[in-house]
Structure 1
Amino acid sequence: MAMRKPPSRPTIAEIAKQSGVSAGAVSYALNGRPGVSDETRKRILEVAREVGWVPSTAARALRGGGTATLGLVITREPDVLGIEPFFMSFVAGIEKVISARGYALLLQVTPDPERELQTYREWWSARRVDGIFVTDLAIDDQRLPIINEIGLPVVVVGDPAFSDGLPAVGSDDAAAANAAMERLAELGHKRVAHIAGPERFVHTHVRSDAMARAGERLGIQVVAEVNTDYSVAAGTAACHQLLDGANPPTAMVFDNDLTAIGAVRAATGRGVEVPGQLSVLAWDDSPLCELTVPALSALSRDVSAYGADAATMLLNVVNGSAEVKSVRSSVARLVDRGTLGPAPR
């Protein structure tokens, strides 16, 4: 059986032939350069669309025109990332913005921060991306000065106060933590635990500090903080650990929905009623929160809009906008679905 020959890519010469103009005129039109009339440019672009012509990113990069590609490296264990709702929604928001502008997203998952930095160096030296998103901002983040040194256009996804002067899109986690503690105070809770993400992350510290300050103001004791990897298993283990302690909390606040789901399963599995004996509140609402029994109360934010804001900012950075200001995006609101209740007597 004869091998099928793959279809050839449309060329400038073919577009020129169908448009009845020279190859040079097609080049001017497709690259937005002067040298052809508006009517001719319109005809050439129409023919290019009909034949499905797209620019070669490699050739475009060699001409200094960029690659029309943005990069995102996520440093996570693949098993955890595979069921993490946050990044799925975040990437969806990015795609919504960049695809409309003719850009693509290059996504890579790495096991450790050093490999993440190496990826940035490789991408930039090979001209594979025009700019990058940096997520999971850490305290004294060593990536930021290196990215600055490389000269790679970047938007930091995290608190602008910790972005080392780089443009950033951040969520007001302190305000959300205050809202959570105020609601728990209204319900009469005096002992609250915080089941957080990795200790190195900026948002872990911001949330923890805000909860502690709110607790002092409201008369609530934060009896424990447990750092996790955001997995269901980690949430299950944290719940068992806290309930087995000498001074168990009456409410638990989780930094993501997966750990909260694990905790609800652990609590109900050992006969602890949620919310009758234990209140549970998740951060980063997702459809998973509505599938649990009972449905999870959550600090809900529009993660897709968060990604869209980051994408809009990075496109502005890449395209040399005169002034790019860091912004706070995606303020969370408390959605009470059924896992918050009065403190047990």
Structure 2
Amino acid sequence: MNLPPANPSAPPARRPTLKDVARETGYHITTISLALRGHASIPTETRQRIEEVAQRMGYQRNPVFYALSRFRQEGRVRAPAPRIAYLENYGAGSGNSRPPYQQSIYEGARRQAELLGYQLEVLAVGEDDHDARSLSHHLRDNHITGVVIGSFQPGFAEIALNWADYAVCKIHSRHTEPNATVVANDQLREVRMAFRRLAALGYRRIGLAVGRADEDASGHRHTAGYLMEQAAVPADRQIPPLIFPYNTDAGMLGGMITRWVRRHQIDAVICNWTSVREIIEAAGLHVPQDVACACLCLCDAAPEGLAGVRPHLHLVGERAVSIVVTQLKSGQPGLPEVPSSIYVQSTWQDGPSAPPRN
């Protein structure tokens, strides 16, 4: 799904400044600044004329520098904290709740924004939420120039805003334009870590089960890590990954995993669903007697006793906000000429679902 451009024909434009308004009205820049702050020293008629010209030109006060100037003048910031938009597409308009792993990312982003003096405003986009036009209007009307794209679920090919106007960073969301700096946990390294730890525990036939949606969102980094490890084991122990389709529910997945485990005589399953143990047992296999399992996403909501990888998702959110704030403070909005990816490393956690094997 694409969010169509709010105005596809409009080229990126430079933001009007106080100097531009002064040049247009003929007043000194100090007069312009005082008028736009509603200072009593400026006659009402003059102030109204300046405000009309500024509005017509599209001038917007920079909330970051406004807050800083208030701090210099008064010793404390009385102006509202400047806002950073946090975009999500999990379907809030349809009443859906935020998935647990996304909640961890969001909490990290929110805390970091507050620490740096900003307010994080959650904006939902999608069929029942903001489209590109309403999103663009909301950002403009509320003087929001910093945007975090918060781990979009697949289905959105593009968020069509005039990105030259915004400081932006993506969390995961490799399937979604714009091509901005990405912060993520390192799925490739996580799969390799899980595979090697299970092998060290004595498992010999290790398989990866992951959803197509998660593969698309991560740039196929799960299977990339898995195939790198598979290449190092004997051919008779190489197992094809189970890539289950979009919209697979727990019941369907249980049947798929059971057939796959039996067909390939798998003794340990790596999966990124936190409910993997319950899904396997509901399908008739016993964990760990019949097959061990390890989860790639042990977030706070993960069941106890589950072995696997614990990603530091709150740090992912923190890093994304820090990148946007750096862009805002340096006055360098827009997309980077050469985007980069920043990976937050994870840690392994042993658990009864994958005990040492004799």
**TM-score w.r.t. length of structure 2:** 0.65
Structure 2 residue 310 is matched with structure 1 residue 300: yes
Q: Which residue matches 2:324?
A: 314
Structure 2 residue 123 is matched with structure 1 residue 123: no
Which residue identity does 1:196 align to in structure 2? Answer: G
Structure 2 residue 199 is matched with structure 1 residue 185: yes
Query: CA separation in 2, counterparts of 1:110 and 1:32?
Result: 31
188-197 or 300-309, which deviates more: 188-197
Q: Which residue matches 2:263?
A: 247
After TM superposition, list the pairs within 5 Å mapping 1:123-142 onto structure 2: 123-136=138-151, 142=157
Q: Secondary structure, in 3 states, of the residue corresponding to 2:232?
A: helix
Kept in 2, the 8 Å contact 1:132–1:314? The answer is yes
Query: CA separation in 2, counterparts of 1:175 and 1:338?
Result: 23
Structure 2 residue 286 is matched with structure 1 residue 273: yes
State the Cα distance separating 1:281 from its structure 2 match. Answer: 1.5
Which residue identity does 2:239 align to in structure 1? Answer: Q
Q: Which residue matches 2:49?
A: none
Kept in 1, the 8 Å contact 2:88–2:152? The answer is no
Q: Which residue matches 1:238?
A: 253
Q: Which residue matches 2:353?
A: 339
Which residue identity does 1:225 align to in structure 2? Answer: I
State the Cα distance separating 1:100 from its structure 2 match. Answer: 2.4
Number of residues paired by the alignment? 286
Which residue identity does 2:342 align to in structure 1? Answer: R
Query: CA separation in 2, counterparts of 1:192 and 1:80?
Result: 35
CA 1:165–1:276 in structure 2 vs 1: closer, same or farther (change >3 Å)? same
Kept in 2, the 8 Å contact 1:211–1:222? The answer is no
- Any gaps of 5 or more consecutive residues in structure 1? 1-21, 25-29, 56-66
RMSD of aligned residue pairs (Cα, Å): 3.9
State the Cα distance separating 1:196 from its structure 2 match. Answer: 2.4
- Any gaps of 5 or more consecutive residues in structure 2? 1-38, 42-65
Query: CA separation in 1, counterparts of 2:158 and 2:126?
Result: 15
More helix by share: 1
Which residue identity does 1:247 align to in structure 2? Answer: R
| Identical-pair percentage | 10
State the Cα distance separating 1:307 from its structure 2 match. Answer: 0.8
133-142 or 266-275, which deviates more: 133-142
Structure 2 residue 171 is matched with structure 1 residue 157: yes
CA 1:215–1:173 in structure 2 vs 1: closer, same or farther (change >3 Å)? same
State the Cα distance separating 1:140 from its structure 2 match. Answer: 11
Q: Which residue matches 1:74?
A: 88
Query: CA separation in 1, counterparts of 2:251 and 2:357?
Result: 21
State the Cα distance separating 1:308 from its structure 2 match. Answer: 0.8
Query: CA separation in 1, counterparts of 2:311 and 2:95?
Result: 21
Q: Which residue matches 1:64?
A: none
**TM-score w.r.t. length of structure 1:** 0.68
Query: CA separation in 1, counterparts of 2:282 and 2:267?
Result: 17
Q: Secondary structure, in 3 states, of the residue corresponding to 2:108?
A: helix
Q: Secondary structure, in 3 states, of the residue corresponding to 2:197?
A: helix
